[in-house]
Amino acid sequence: MKKLFLFIGLLLSFLVISCSGSDAYQGEWKATNNNKEEFFISFDRDNFIVTDAQGNTETYEYTQHSYKSHNSVVTYGIRLSKDGRELKVHFPIPKNENIGYIMSAQDQIIFTLSRDEFITPDDINKF
């Protein structure tokens, strides 16, 4: 009976941990939207904060629900807790998780992300 409870406890722990955000996109990002407006985005394990140039912030709780990798191009699927919207954190350059996008479920770019500088999709296409 103890082994059954231990197994169930480990399984539940695994499920809770697997729903939190990946280390690949956690941390601080410089982001640019389609209007070339600059933002700062900070990802934690279960939420992210978007800060605009005026210092206004918006916090979004999320869970990660998918992971895809093809030819070392990685995409994480996240679901916003408030409204169920699905987004993607996409790293289009193989083996590079320092430059990417936040995209809609329909693959429209919402933000271009970089750890180091504000960039646009055109900048990413140069790589």
Q: What is the DSSP letter of 120?
A: -
Q: How confident is the model at residue 1 (pLDDT cuts 50, 70, 90)?
A: low
Determine the residue type at 17. I
Residues 32-67: tens digit of each pLDDT: 999 999 999 999 999 999 999 999 999 999 999 999
Q: Which two tokens stand for residue 116?
A: 């180091």
Distance CA 38, CA 20 (A): 26
Distance CA 120, CA 21 (A): 24
Better-predicted residue by pLDDT, 19 or 82: 82
What are the φ/ψ torsions at residue 54 (nearest 5 degrees)? Answer: -90, 0
122-126-120 Cα angle (round to 5) = 25
